[in-house]
Structure 1
């Protein structure tokens, strides 16, 4: 039975890539929801009550029942609203398993490497960036069957979990590069990822939700 979508709430934070994943999924599927912006230095009581284990965003509340962890939430949304397109996971069991494998890679392998780039300096920062680029090279080599080869084939109606994860990770790469003075997404080193991210960023549903460049630069300077 299709889920009742009249009582959906998302607790998030504007700069959180994990919150953005859920936000994009809801917008892509056309599911109305209430958004609650959280101050992570002064978390709301509702956030703590609905996510007592991690006390982090995102927190997804549907008809009073709460979920945490972005991947768990994305799969729940896909299963709870099966007639809302796009479907975020493939129907074929093998393809579904492969997408889940790489979804875990994009959740647990890339973000820690990217984070280290911003919280290191000098030689340690260079090593962190090299580590990130090595993982991106691995993606291009091993995800070859899952990476779109033609930018024109990337449409809002056909996006899935991997698209959502990739664009939330790298949508702000130009602001990051301005602050760091280093290339994060290099067209020469990683042409497939560069084209994939660029096409996703230009979809209206994604573009309209990316924070302004100057806002991102100011925030990154403050946090780095």
Structure 2
């Protein structure tokens, strides 16, 4: 099906979504590491509007935005293994809705966690409340399912992978416990199931690598806010 390249950044949650989807589909690809402070000419040409990762290039044609790329992968390699999206139109629409919502909430979660880390009093409390609201929603969505997509990792699970790994690393980095088994049993069980999958373990970064990165990032943000 032609040459496939992924332009991403080290341990980036959005390019890891795409890489996981390609792995699940059995698609070979070339990963190209980008430097945010010194972006390649290729990246700028492929994504002239935002000039940033993530970009998938298939047969010389670029596709941007992780959710759009995931759908492209599912459609292009439709016959490869289990589909990422449900076949039924209504179920597909629900999956798209949830994925978009989770994607938006990922950005909100990061902003909320900055408030938790940097804020004081009301600001910090607001950050905690925003974060807990998102986690409660996701916990309710799982019900008794193994994965958001049912018995197998699917579209929503891939989009929610940020919650499974990166959010936990952020929690540890700032020394907070918002996502616990006691408060969110279904979501916690899903995280365990997802991270224990062989293909995820083989292709996702280790939490031990992410925690120091986020700790340094939040410490720098805190110092900047106080100066």
TM class by shorter-chain length? 0.7 to 0.9
Runs (4+) of structure 1 exceeding 6 A deviation are: none
Q: 1:169 to 1:49 in 2, by over 3 A?
A: farther
Root-mean-square deviation (CA, aligned residues, Å) is: 2.0
Unaligned runs of 5+ in 1: none
In 1, the alpha carbon distance for the partners of 2:31 and 2:170 equals 26
TM-score by length of 2: 0.87
| Pick aligned residue for 2:83 from 59, 84, 87 | 87
Moved more, 36-45 or 207-216: 207-216
Are the equivalent residues in 2 in contact too, given 1:140–1:190 (CA < 8 A)? Answer: yes
Are the equivalent residues in 2 in contact too, given 1:137–1:190 (CA < 8 A)? Answer: yes
Are the equivalent residues in 1 in contact too, given 2:164–2:194 (CA < 8 A)? Answer: no
In 2, the alpha carbon distance for the partners of 1:101 and 1:192 equals 20
1:82-161 matches, cutoff 5 A: 82-118=78-114, 120-123=118-121, 124-141=123-140, 143-144=141-142, 149-150=145-146, 158-161=152-155
**1:172 lines up with 2:170 in the alignment:** no
In 2, the alpha carbon distance for the partners of 1:186 and 1:114 equals 18
Q: 1:213 to 1:69 in 2, by over 3 A?
A: same
Deviation at 1:15, TM superposition (A): 2.7
Q: How many residues align?
A: 214
Unaligned runs of 5+ in 2: 219-227
